[in-house]
Amino acid sequence: MFKPISLLRFAPAIILVAGLASCDKKDNPDTVAPQLRKSIDYAKLSDTTTYANFFVDDAGAKTVDLSNGANRLLMFRAINTYNGTAVGTGATLDANVLKNMFANTSSPYSGSLASLNTSGVQLRSVTASSLAAADAEKERQTIEAGFTAIATASKSVSATASEGKAGKLGTYLVDEKGIEYGQIIQKGLIGAFQLDYISNVLLSDKSLAADNTTLVAGKKYTQLEQNWDEIYGILTANPIYGAKATATSSGESFIGSYIWEYNKDDFPKIHPALLKGRAAIVNNDATTLKAQVAILRSAMEKAVANAALGYLGKWKTAGTNTAAAAHAMGEGLGFIYSLRYAKLNGGDAAFSDGILTNLIYSAPNGFWGLTNAKIDAASTAIKTKFNIAG
C-alpha cells in the first residue's frame, strides 16, 4: 500500500432552472417549479441552529435526511474500530472482512450496526469516485491492499517490532518496514472517501446542477437537497457540527476532527456554511450557494495539507521515541496519500506518490530509513504546492 509499483501502495455551477415551465401538480404532485419552499431568511441561521430540524416544507415536515451520509460515516468508523482490535485485543485481522465492510457485501456488520447491511450504501463505490473509472478502481484496490497489509501485520501483534520485523512498537502495530497500516487506512480514507466524495463529487458543478424542482419519489427532498444533506452526514454525527469542541478536543471524528486540529481558522465557519448552503438551495440562490461551497472545499484541503505537515514535524520531534515517530509517520503517510484529492490546489496522484516514494518507497527499510533531509524535502514540496508559509 502506498507504493506505486512493486509493493503495496496506499496506496453540482448550480443550475437552478428558474424558468422551468410550471408543472401540473394535480397530475404530478411531486413536481413544483420554480421553487419548492418559502424562502429562508439567512439571518435566522445561527451557530446553534440544528441542521436536521431547521429545514421543513410548507406543511412543516422535515426535508433533511442524513441517513446515507450517516451510514457511510458509521461504516468508516466500523472499519477503523475493527482494525483497532489487533492492538486492543491481540486479534488477528481478516482482510476479507475488511473488504466486505468496505463494499458492504456478505452482511459484514452485526449488532447495533446490522442495519448497515441493508442500507443500500457502501464506501467502496464512492471512494476516489471523482476519478476516471480505471483510476478510481486503482485507488480502491490500493485501499484494499492496505487491508491485506494490516491483516498480515496483525499476525505478529504479540511480537516487538524492529527493523525488518513486524509487531508492536509501543501500542502501535507496524509491519516489517515500520508502517502503521491502521493509520494509513484511516487517513487514506479521509482523503479518498471524505475529501474526494464531498469536495470533488458532491460539491462539484455536476452535482450542484442536480434537480432542485422535483421531489425525489416518495421523499420530502429534492436530489440537490439530498446531496447537501449527505455531506452533513459524512462530516459529522453531531446535531451541530463543532458544538462539542473544547480547548482539547474537537468533539468530531475523522476529517471533521482534523479541520479542528489543523485549520483552526476555518473550523467555526463549517457549520454556518453547511446551514447557509442548505438555505441557499431552498432559496434557489446560486451565488450564496457557491460561496459556501468555496468555504467547505478550501477548509478541508487546508486541513489535510496542514495535517500532513504536522505529522512530518512530529516525526522529527519524536527523537529517539521510535514508537511515537512510527505513529506520526503512519498518520503523515496517510495524509500525504490524501493530498491527491486536494484538487483546488492541484493535488494528484503523481504529486503525492512522488513524496511517498522519496520518503518511504525508495528505501528498502521504509520507515527505518527516514532522515531529516527526507522529511524536510517532503515538507517543502507540500508547503510550495499549498502555498503554506513557514
Chain segment 223-266, per-residue pLDDT in tens: 999 999 999 999 999 999 999 999 999 999 999 999 999 999 99
Instruction: Quote the pLDDT of residue 9.
Output: 43
Q: Which of 101, 97, 72, 100 is nearest to 86 (CA)?
A: 97
Section 262-286 average pLDDT: 97
Domain residues of the chain, as ranges? 159-386
148 pLDDT higher than 50: yes
Q: What is the mean pLDDT of residues 187-195?
A: 98
Q: Pick from 65, 189, 59: which is nearest to 127 by CA?
A: 189
| DSSP character at residue 55 | -
437552478: which residue's cell?
16
How far is it, in rounded angstroms, from Cα 220 to Cα 84?
39
Q: 349-356 and 372-386 are packed helices; what angle lies between their axes, rounded to 10 degrees?
A: 160
Q: Which residue has the higher pLDDT, 17 or 302?
A: 302
DSSP letter (8 states) at residue 214: B
Mean pLDDT rounded to a whole number for the chain: 92
pLDDT at 18 over 60: no
Element (H, E) at 187: helix 181-189
pTM, to two decimals: 0.91
pLDDT in tens, 27-86: 444 444 557 889 999 999 999 999 999 999 999 999 999 999 999 999 999 999 999 999
* Share above pLDDT 90 across residues of the chain, in percent, rounded to a whole number: 90
Q: What is the pLDDT of residues 334-347, one digit of tens each?
A: 999 999 999 999 99
